[in-house]
Structure 1
Amino acid sequence: MTTVMARGRLVLEIPVDDLDLRAAKIRLLCTDIDGVLTTGALLYGPEPGHTKAFHVRDGAAIKHLQRAGIPVAFISGLEAGATVNRAKDLGVEDCFAGHLDKLPILDQLCAKYGLAYDQVAHLGDDLPDLPLLRRVGLACCPIDAVDEVKAACQWTVPVQGGHGVLRQVAERILKAQGRWAEVVGRY
């Protein structure tokens, strides 16, 4: 509860959501790719490599965060050209594809941006995300994440991976920081 005082007397008490307190501190959003920004399905054809489908709302949310001065980092265990291409399209400078050991990447990003763990949010869905989710200030996962990940997160977003889950996280962060009206005002 936050107590609001006026002229020395109690005016009202406002319940403050722990998630919003955590979201208000966020200065970097890290995200897994497969199962989070995509459904996790990999489409293989006759040529080497595979294709992935990314949700357009997640891309728009990444741009909203970037305009608000909150960088987004991709940290994926799977090395895939599709991930690198999506990062380039969105202007995501910090794209780490092919890194199953994600904690050193988080440490590198915190050093780069001068951040403590509690100023970072991570969005993940599977076991390689656990070391990050256990350390960051705001740990989130899609509703179809594995049980161990759900247990490590403060917020299980009620959206499946690949269906705009990052959009929900970005909106919560920007609202908690009082910046959502600025985003909406652009339209």
Structure 2
Amino acid sequence: MATSYKELLHEITTFIFDVDGVLTDGRMLISESGELLRTMNAKDGYAIKTALNQGFKVCIITGGRNQGVKTRLNGLGVKDVFLDAHDKMEILHEYVTKHDLKPSQLLYMGDDMPDVEAIEFVGLGTCPQDAIAEVKAVSDYISHKNGGDCCVRDVIEQVLKVQGKWHVAGGKNTQSS
């Protein structure tokens, strides 16, 4: 019998995200000077900060090179931001070794072909609703949210709720059933 993705949420200690198409909607605004501009959702940022505050690790592995992305994520408290990642699996293996992690502890969210191998490697492979078909086919969970539209918040909130670590205003703990 196949394991439900919800059963895997209990094991997660580490979130690993791609950027373009996950933390952003994948679209880029190109300025006259050639600078590529992206938008990120503040609700995803809140969820990332909450996860970090609850002791989870958050790692970003992206093929993009935009230093503004790194600045934003560092500002949220994410220390492990890997830009210009042409071989995501090499970085993922180094990260797992450095932090003595097991694949079952990892949740990875990606949306395109460079993410497929990482999604297959981790304990819980996830993707946004608007990921490509090949990514959806190997994902344990497909968010009902699109990239850049709180798909990151969706998976973080589910994990933290299942583990009793999601807090609402006033400090009340909310448990999912």
Of 111, 118, 122 in structure 2, the residue corresponding to residue 125 of structure 1 is: 111
Structural mapping, 1:81-96, within 5 Å:
81-96=67-82
Superposed CA deviations along residues 112-137 of structure 1, whole A, max 9, x for unmatched, are 22101111000100000011000101
The amino acid that maps onto 1:143 is Q
Identity %: 35
Kept in 2, the 8 Å contact 1:52–1:82? The answer is: no
Q: Number of matched residues? A: 169
CA distance in 2 between counterparts of 1:110 and 1:186 reads 32
TM-score, with structure 1 as normaliser: 0.86
The aligned counterpart of 2:42 is 56
Give 1:186's match in structure 2, choosing from 149, 171, 174. Answer: 171
Moved segments of 4+, more than 2 Å: none
Deviation digits for residues 93-148 of structure 1 (CA, Å, limit 9, x no counterpart): 00011112100111111112210111100010000001100010111100000000
Separation of aligned partners in 2, 1:84 and 1:48: 18
1:89 and 1:145 mapped to 2: Cα distance? 27
Instruction: Write out per-residue CA displacement over residues 29-87 of structure 1, whole angstroms, 9 at most, x where no aligned residue.
Output: 00000001001111111224211100001000001110111011111011112211211
Tell me the distance in 2 between the aligned counterparts of 1:178 and 1:186. 12
Task: Name the SS of the counterpart of 2:118 in structure 1.
Answer: helix
Q: Which amino acid aligns with 1:47?
A: S
2:96 to 88, 110, 124: 110
Alignment of 1:33-44 (within 5 A): 33-44=19-30
Q: Partner residue of 2:60?
A: 74
> Partners of 2:120 and 2:10 in 1: how far apart?
19
Which runs of 5 or more structure 2 residues have no equivalent in the other structure?
173-177
Aligned-partner Cα distance in 2 for 1:161–1:155: 14
Q: Which has the higher strand share?
A: 1
Q: Which runs of 5+ in 1 are unaligned?
A: 1-16
Instruction: Name the CA distance, whole Å, in 1 between partners of 2:6 and 2:163.
Output: 8
When normalised by structure 2's length, the TM-score is 0.91
Aligned CA RMSD, in angstroms, stands at: 1.3
Larger radius of gyration: 1
1:161 aligns with 2:121: no
